[in-house]
């Protein structure tokens, strides 16, 4: 007896077509209604010394930008210009959020 249940070819084809139709519909919906894919939120994670407003300014992501036109690598490099930021990674959370994860430098000594 197999761990995975056996499904018929017809069931597989219907599932594949149904999934493809759902993806095509959602892609078409965003193409017809681009206002559904606009940046509304930018969330910063992992920052303690660098403030969210400083990082937001460096990221240059604006509310109302199209989420498809957000360039994660470019934003990460811009945020990494902050003196406290060691590394940054950027991702999109559909439909309207850009997430910037920050790893900060650790202070070794205070003068």
**Tens of pLDDT along the chain (111 residues)?**
555 556 566 676 676 556 555 555 555 555 666 667 899 999 999 999 999 999 999 999 999 999 989 999 999 999 999 999 999 999 999 889 999 999 999 988 877
- Asked if residues 75 and 44 have their Cβ atoms less than 8 Å apart, the reply is no
pTM above 0.85, yes or no: no
Look at residues 40, 30, 52, 29 and name the one whose alpha carbon lies nearest to residue 104.
52
| Separation CA 42–CA 6 (nearest Å) | 44
- 87 sits in the region (left: phi over 0; alpha: psi -120 to 50; else beta) called beta
Nearest alpha carbon to residue 48 among 1, 20, 82, 10: 82
């Amino acid at each position: 007896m197999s761990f995975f249940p056996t499904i018929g070819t017809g069931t597989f084809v219907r599932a594949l077509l149904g999934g493809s139709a759902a993806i095509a519909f959602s892609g078409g919906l965003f193409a017809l209604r681009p206002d559904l894919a606009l940046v509304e939120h930018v969330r910063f994670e992992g920052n303690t010394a660098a403030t969210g407003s400083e990082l937001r300014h460096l990221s240059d992501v604006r509310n109302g930008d199209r989420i498809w036109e957000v360039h994660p690598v470019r934003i990460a490099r811009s945020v990494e210009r902050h003196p406290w930021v060691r590394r940054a990674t950027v991702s999109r959370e559909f439909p309207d959020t850009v997430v910037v994860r920050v790893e900060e430098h650790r202070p070794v000594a205070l003068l």
